[in-house]
Amino acid sequence: MKTQVMLLAALMLTGCGTVQTVMRGDEVAAKSLKDQKSYCGAVPRIYSGVTYDFCSLNAPLEQGRDPQTYTNDPAWVLIDVVMSGALDTLLLPYTIYRQNADGSIFVAE
């Protein structure tokens, strides 16, 4: 049971918007949104995980996508918004600093 919970947590964190935008490089988040064909041009660092999730919702649905990759299925994204919102709130001092120092994460080329 404990192993299953750990596996589920690890699986959910791989798609978490906050992990994509705060803990990985800017180019990874930008590439992911470009691959999803999101219409977002930039993602601000403050509450970036929630913004990333909404940018995922603002992309055309892709049928037959590999389930191992991050999906923009509305049900999954809405679950992730709640988790990202909580994590974004905890990371708020850091993301405010990063927004002031580095600006937003640019998606559009």
pTM comes to 0.77
| Integer Cα distance of 52 and 40 in angstroms | 9
Question: Which pLDDT tens digit goes with each residue over 41-68?
Answer: 999 999 999 999 888 888 776 655 554 4
The Cα 10–Cα 33 span in angstroms is 21
DSSP state of 20: I
Low pLDDT (below 70) residues in the chain: 4-15, 61-73, 109
Domain ranges of the chain: 2-106
* Per-residue pLDDT, 82: 86
